Chains A and B, each alone.
Chain A
Amino acid sequence: MRAVLLSLRMLSREWRSGELGVLLLALTIAVAALTGVAFLASRIDSAVAMQASQVLAADIRLESPQPIGEADVVAARERGLLTARTTGLLSVVFEGDRSQLADINAVTAGYPLRGRVTVAPQPFAKGRPASGIPPPGEVWPDSRLLAALGGQVGSRLSVGAAELLVGRVLIARPDEGGTFTGLVPNLLMNAADLPRTQLIQPGSRVTYAALFAGSPDRVAAFKQWLGAHRHRGERLRDISSTSPQIKSAVDRAGRFLSLASLVAVLLCATAVGMSARRYVGRHLDSVALLKTLGATRRFTIALTVLQLLAVALVAAVIGAAIGYATQEWLIYALRGVFASQELPPASLAPVGMGLLTAVALLTGFALPPLLQLSRVPAIRVLRRDIGPPRPLVLLAFGPAAAVVALLIYWVVLDWQLFLWFTVGLAAFIALLVLAGTLLVVVAGRLRGRAGVAWRYGVASLSRRRADGIVQIVAFGTGIMALLLLGIIRGDLDGDWRRSLPADLPNYFFINIPPQSRDGLVGYLHAQGARTSRVLPMIRGRLTAIDGRPVEQLRFADHRGEEFANREQNLTWSATLGADNRVVAGRWWTPADYGQPLVSISTEFERWLGLHVGDRLTFDIAGETFNVKVASIRKVKWDSFHPNFFIVFAPGLLDKVAGTYLTSAYLAPGAAQSLAGLARRFPSVSIFDIDDLLADVRAVLDKAVLAVQSVFAFTLLAGLTVLLAAVQSSRDQRRYESAILRTLGASRRTVLQSVLAEFAALGVLSGLIAAAGASVAAYFLTTRVLSLPYVFSPWACVTGVVGGGMIVVASGWLATRSVLRHPPIATLRADV
């Protein structure tokens, strides 16, 4: 107890004197960078999730062909969630003697729980948010439906047995889907009118959905409850099963954020380790003296641990505050980037995480050297050359390695990635140590061949052997991390921008009868639209895999079951789309045309557990087709061009009755020409994805913002490491510079020698960092982010030149004060 009290008193004194400052600063910046990333990531994550939820009209959505029991809804309400229901079915709608098949959605009050319904007073006009749902007795048909029926607001539509008034024109509803499930025009009505329509009869194909939304923790808890109480045939949809375009962007942004925060953690860990080394160096004398005056080893350990805990606490609080303020400022500064809505408030979880991380970093990186401090023998008060005994390698590096491994796993949460990351990092550090050792040896050999400043500068590398190697590792890791993130950020950002050019197709035309194909394309061209390729589309059902009926098969992924149990959109094509890449097997040649071959997407492969060579049986319009999987394609779903999970070889399905689809870009204000098209080609479904594109653009804008800001944080963390590395040798440098200057060296000579040393360190670490960053970037872009990798020579140039310059600049900054100090003051202070 006495030790604790005295330790606390000692701590407050240390505090006042600023001796703990360096460590505290490094840790505070570490926590600030970390929590800043975490705050930002959590807010952007929720913004992205919210944006994505809008596509579901809820946070989670339970769908079933059977009515969903009241129990689920009651349970959700008990857990504080908002709920609503929708009932969807296909039926023909009449206006006078005109009719059109429509996708009817009857909704209850509260719909949509996420996103909004937009309506307009006339077809194909700009929509405005609707307040609420259609009142009983009223329907909101969409533009296509109204155009096909020739109706307008005020018309009366027959929906089943009920006659309902057209109140407004539905322009968009959030859950109309990013996939092509809703091929027919839409109609929104009040669920209270549904019984009157008498549309639901035994055997009707109806999709019932219960929508749920609420705070993330409540949603997560409810999802768990639902998992345990789900009925057969019920399908749970959440953000992960939403449109592949958004999911793909969210996934990549998420992976980049994790990666960036991991890099920030590792950089900060390095900075903390180096600061701790310096702290130990500066406290050897004090601890020896304490022991001389009677302090026991337990006391010095207690003192150290208490100091660390206090430092961790203060750093966590100040760091989290700075992190929060910085991300608030960043969001304020970049507010113009956001498409429509404000970001949700940040959660407080990062503060706890900051403290936990601070303690973990200190335990791994600062505790071992500080505990080593407690082993300084008291005799050091008489013999300055005696330091603490050398620690066992395992004790010195074990905790740090363990903390790094834990942190990496915590961030990536994937064994394979974890292994790649740790092995890569270990190999890179080993390479740096090897290069550092070589540099130190070569520097020692070359010292006689240069002028005095260079000789002294380069020679100090070989003199401070261990320091030199540690600094190369720190500089190299810092520069590599920054280069790596720079390269990946560029790839990610560039890919997103490329994938969403302004003239991306914004309308899809589906159900084009073969005889209308040329006419429709001609009509679109006449309206000034740019069309993409026209692909056939055939509906078919997978009935067997390798001869075994799908009903008898069990799939590892529930999505496999869903795929196997519903009709698929199939196509055939001679050419491989530019946004498709064959990852297994081979694409067909003209010799294969007419052969029973099929190419499947990687999703299909994974969810159904398929391989190249597997035999699939399809039922297409009553005819059975036995085909072999010839290739597996990775499809870039966020390209917004028509794509299919299953593509047949040409010449096999040509005779099967099917329709065509195409997409086109129509400039804003094309409403009239679309109304004309709908009248001229009544069977063609027009699918407007402008709103979906706007959603995706909004998500990507947020992701880009996140990527940029997190990069800025990581940059700060990297600079901290560089400064900590330079600081680590500052005391010795100060002393040596004082001696050099006492012996008559000019400031210029001393400065030159320091710059020579740092230039050698910087260029070498920059070179290795550039090589390491290129290899790591290749791995990360191709394996983790699924992007094409382009080698960038600028990384090498930036690594060597930039790395050299940054290191020299930090060296100069840190040494400037050393030079300003009169040498006699340094020598008197007996550093």
Chain B
Amino acid sequence: MPNAQAPAARSSVLKAEHLTKQVQSPEGTLTIVHDVSLDIASGESVAVVGPSGAGKSTLLALLAGLDLPSAGRVLLEGRDLTRLDEDGRARVRAQRVGFVFQSFHLIPSLTAHENVMLPLELAGHAGAREAALETLRQVGLKDRARHYPRQLSGGEQQRVALARAFVTRPAVLFADEPTGNLDAATGARIGQLLFEMNAHSRTTLVLVTHDAELASRCERIVHMEAGELPGDSG
């Protein structure tokens, strides 16, 4: 059985147990993730790599509670996400989880500043405005705070997305191909920023990527193939 254990010295923050995800398709039942177990320690950075269609993004969605597995369970800081309803999982995400996506996913109707404020507001934090501005400063975009996403370049949009991901000081940050939509130079700068901020905030990072350079900066790399984890390297 494929398994990936957290380093023994640190406590586990995210744990997947025998995760399986199946969907119905015209050709019958399709297994996208098959019996995956994974244990990620607090503050650890883990890269999930593998060919397209290996089930990386689906695994990430299951780990983040964006989707429910067909079998198995996910424990985030000891809480079983699979036993929570959709709103319960949303509340956990609001408090403990951050996201960075390949296509940035900024809300086009909100300014950069408002996009960063949003998760704080959803989680009911006081002082959202100042905290968001400070995080924007950290990613070097304080001057663009009042700009809308369409007025920003791809790299700038991803920096706003990074600020939004870190502003709540999440326990776990999920990044899905964060440099996939960017040119090599911009991608490298974003990668750099991601790891710097991660180190600074001591957040646990789960990174899905095709970018070998980016993956190599993680403490651990897990390889995924045809929905399974044959083994991982640290």
Q: How far is the CA of A830 from the CA of B105 in the complex (A)?
A: 10
* Interface flag for A299 (CB, 8 Å): yes
User: Which of A18, A19, A291, A294 lies at the interface centre, i.e. has the most chain B CB atoms within 10 A of its CB?
Assistant: A294
A13-B109, A13-B110, A297-B87 known; A382 vs B60 contact (CB < 8 Å): yes
**CB interface residues, B 78-132, toward A, < 8 Å:** 86-87, 89-95, 97, 99, 101, 103, 105, 107-111, 114, 118-119, 121-124
Kindly provide the distance from the CB of A389 to the nearest chain B CB, expressed in whole angstroms: 12
Q: How far is the CA of A295 from the CA of B120 in the complex (A)?
A: 11
**In the bound complex, do residue A294 and residue B108 qualify as a contact, i.e. CB atoms below 8 Å apart?**
no
Q: Which residue of B lies closest to A384 (CB)?
A: B103
Q: Which residue of B lies closest to A16 (CB)?
A: B109
**In the bound complex, do residue A293 and residue B122 qualify as a contact, i.e. CB atoms below 8 Å apart?**
yes
How many chain A residues have a CB neighbour from B under 8 Å? 31
**In the bound complex, do residue A293 and residue B119 qualify as a contact, i.e. CB atoms below 8 Å apart?**
yes
Q: Which residue of A lies closest to B181 (CB)?
A: A830
Q: How far is the CA of A299 from the CA of B122 in the complex (A)?
A: 9
Which label, helix, strand, loop or mixed, suits the secondary structure of the B interface? helix
B55-87 CB mask vs A (1 if < 8 Å, else 0) is 001101100101100000000000000000011
A6-B121, A6-B122, A17-B109 known; A378 vs B103 contact (CB < 8 Å): no
Q: Contacting A382 at CB < 8 Å: which of B101, B110, B164?
A: B101
Kindly provide the distance from the CB of B90 to the nearest chain A CB, expressed in whole angstroms: 5
Q: Write out the residue numbers on chain A whose beta carbons fall within 8 Å of the beta carbon of B109.
A: 13-14, 16-19, 286
**In the bound complex, do residue B119 and residue A381 qualify as a contact, i.e. CB atoms below 8 Å apart?**
no
Q: How far is the CA of A383 from the CA of B93 in the complex (A)?
A: 18
Query: Size band of the B side of the interface?
Result: 35 or more
**CB interface residues, A 476-534, toward B, < 8 Å:** none
* Interface flag for A220 (CB, 8 Å): no
Q: Which residue of B lies closest to A9 (CB)?
A: B121
A13-B114, A17-B148, A382-B60 known; A294 vs B95 contact (CB < 8 Å): yes
Q: How far is the CA of A298 from the CA of B89 in the complex (A)?
A: 13
Q: How far is the CA of A93 from the CA of B219 in the complex (A)?
A: 122
* Interface flag for B176 (CB, 8 Å): yes
A1-40 CB mask vs B (1 if < 8 Å, else 0) is 0100010010001101111000000000000000000000
**CB interface residues, A 760-783, toward B, < 8 Å:** none
A17-B108, A382-B176 known; A293 vs B66 contact (CB < 8 Å): no
**CB interface residues, A 804-831, toward B, < 8 Å:** 828-830
**In the bound complex, do residue A382 and residue B87 qualify as a contact, i.e. CB atoms below 8 Å apart?**
no
**In the bound complex, do residue A295 and residue B94 qualify as a contact, i.e. CB atoms below 8 Å apart?**
yes
Q: Which residue of A lies closest to B117 (CB)?
A: A9
A13-B110, A286-B107, A292-B99 known; A382 vs B91 contact (CB < 8 Å): no
* Interface flag for B189 (CB, 8 Å): no
* Interface flag for A296 (CB, 8 Å): yes
* Interface flag for A289 (CB, 8 Å): yes
Q: Which residue of A lies closest to B88 (CB)?
A: A296
**CB interface residues, A 296-318, toward B, < 8 Å:** 296-299
**In the bound complex, do residue B122 and residue A381 qualify as a contact, i.e. CB atoms below 8 Å apart?**
no
B148-178 CB mask vs A (1 if < 8 Å, else 0) is 1010001000000000100000000000100
Q: Contacting A830 at CB < 8 Å: which of B94, B103, B110, B118?
A: B103
Q: Which residue of A lies closest to B103 (CB)?
A: A830
Q: Which residue of B lies closest to A297 (CB)?
A: B87
A259-277 CB mask vs B (1 if < 8 Å, else 0) is 0000000000000000000
Q: How far is the CA of A19 from the CA of B108 in the complex (A)?
A: 9
Q: Write out the residue numbers on chain B whose beta carbons fall within 8 Å of the beta carbon of A381.
A: 66, 99, 101, 105
Q: Write out the residue numbers on chain B whose beta carbons fall within 8 Å of the beta carbon of A296.
A: 86-87, 90-91
**In the bound complex, do residue B107 and residue A295 qualify as a contact, i.e. CB atoms below 8 Å apart?**
no
Q: Contacting A295 at CB < 8 Å: which of B61, B122, B176?
A: B122
**In the bound complex, do residue B93 and residue A293 qualify as a contact, i.e. CB atoms below 8 Å apart?**
yes
Q: Write out the residue numbers on chain B whose beta carbons fall within 8 Å of the beta carbon of A704.
A: none
Q: Which residue of B lies closest to A282 (CB)?
A: B108
* Interface flag for A377 (CB, 8 Å): yes
Q: Write out the residue numbers on chain B whose beta carbons fall within 8 Å of the beta carbon of A828.
A: 154
Q: How far is the CA of A17 from the CA of B57 in the complex (A)?
A: 31
Q: How far is the CA of A745 from the CA of B122 in the complex (A)?
A: 45
A286-B107, A286-B109, A381-B99 known; A292 vs B150 contact (CB < 8 Å): no
Q: How far is the CA of A19 from the CA of B107 in the complex (A)?
A: 11
A13-B114, A17-B108, A289-B105 known; A379 vs B90 contact (CB < 8 Å): no
Q: Write out the residue numbers on chain B whose beta carbons fall within 8 Å of the beta carbon of A830.
A: 103
Kindly provide the distance from the CB of A704 to the nearest chain B CB, expressed in whole angstroms: 47
Q: Write out the residue numbers on chain A whose beta carbons fall within 8 Å of the beta carbon of B121.
A: 6, 9
Q: Write out the residue numbers on chain A whose beta carbons fall within 8 Å of the beta carbon of B124.
A: 2
Kindly provide the distance from the CB of B113 to the nearest chain A CB, expressed in whole angstroms: 10
Q: Write out the residue numbers on chain A whose beta carbons fall within 8 Å of the beta carbon of B122.
A: 6, 290, 293-295, 299
Q: How far is the CA of A292 from the CA of B119 in the complex (A)?
A: 9
Q: Contacting B123 at CB < 8 Å: which of A285, A294, A377?
A: A294
Kindly provide the distance from the CB of A387 to the nearest chain B CB, expressed in whole angstroms: 15
Q: How far is the CA of A293 from the CA of B92 in the complex (A)?
A: 9
**In the bound complex, do residue A294 and residue B90 qualify as a contact, i.e. CB atoms below 8 Å apart?**
yes
Q: Write out the residue numbers on chain A whose beta carbons fall within 8 Å of the beta carbon of B60.
A: 382
In addition to A286-B108, A289-B107, A294-B92, 18 A-B residue pairs with Cβ atoms within 8 Å of each other are A9-B121, A13-B110, A17-B109, A286-B109, A292-B66, A293-B93, A294-B91, A296-B90, A297-B86, A377-B86, A378-B67, A378-B90, A379-B66, A379-B67, A381-B99, A381-B101, A383-B57, A828-B154
Binding site for A on B (CB under 8 A): 57-58, 60-61, 64, 66-67, 86-87, 89-95, 97, 99, 101, 103, 105, 107-111, 114, 118-119, 121-124, 148, 150, 154, 164, 176
Q: List 12 A-B contacts (CB under 8 A).
A: A6-B121, A9-B121, A17-B108, A292-B64, A295-B90, A297-B87, A298-B87, A378-B66, A378-B89, A379-B61, A379-B66, A383-B57
